[in-house]
Amino acid sequence: MSNTSISLKGRALRLLSGREYSRLELERKLARFEEVPGTLDKALDELQAKNFIDEQRVVDSVVHRRSAKLGVARIQQELQGKGLDPQAVAEAVSDLRATELARAREVWRKKFGEPAADAKARASQMRFLASRGFGGDVIRRVVAEAPDEMFED
């Protein structure tokens, strides 16, 4: 085994010790260190065979880290950007849709905590939730329901 392969594998392991990475992410990060064509693929193949690279763990990690702050659209975009299996992404997104309204309410509550005073403030709240990747229907429900929720206490 050449020093380049060990170096690439070592670099990959150092990255993986911090968080989960998809194979595509590792390829992007390590491509500039590959001196001999094919050594990066070989190193990543070995790591994948030993289960150091696992797409499902990447999906679970992203969902776990990001779902409290982001909506389905943003998480889906992030997962797709990692080059993950479309089926795994679709399953994760499907699971997230079931909790999107509750997650959006919590993000809204933490950021704003009180109903919008006027249309301008309401639009600002809606833009904020949209920038976090929540869907239009969910955003409208959260912002429209906000006054009712505030006065229930």
For residue range 50-100, list pLDDT tens digits in order: 999 999 999 999 999 999 999 999 999 999 999 999 999 999 999 999 999
Q: Are residues 1 and 47 in the same domain?
A: yes
Query: C-alpha distances in angstroms, 6 versus 12, 56, 97, 126?
Result: 10, 26, 42, 50
Q: Are residues 48 and 61 in the same domain?
A: no
User: Could you say which of 22, 38, 53 is where a domain stops?
Assistant: 53
Q: CATH number for the domain including 127?
A: 1.10.10
Mean pLDDT of the chain: 91
Kindly calculate the radius of gyration of the chain based on its CA atoms and give it in whole angstroms: 21
Rounded Cα–Cα distance for residues 88 and 105 (Å)? 26
Q: Are residues 38 and 4 in the same domain?
A: yes
pLDDT band at 145 (very low <50, low <70, confident <90, very high): confident
Q: Are residues 5 and 47 in the same domain?
A: yes
Q: Are residues 33 and 47 in the same domain?
A: yes
Q: Are residues 112 and 137 in the same domain?
A: yes
Q: Are residues 59 and 49 in the same domain?
A: no
Q: Are residues 59 and 93 in the same domain?
A: yes
Angle of helix 100-111 relative to helix 136-150, nearest 10 degrees, comes to 60
Q: Are residues 45 and 61 in the same domain?
A: no
Q: Are residues 33 and 48 in the same domain?
A: yes
Residue with tokens 């010790």: 17
| pLDDT over 60 at 125, yes or no | yes
For residue 33, the enclosing domain spans 1-53
Give the chain's domain count. 3
89-112 burial, b if ≥16 CB within 10 A, otherwise e? beebbeebeeebbebbbebbeeeb
| pLDDT over 70 at 3, yes or no | no
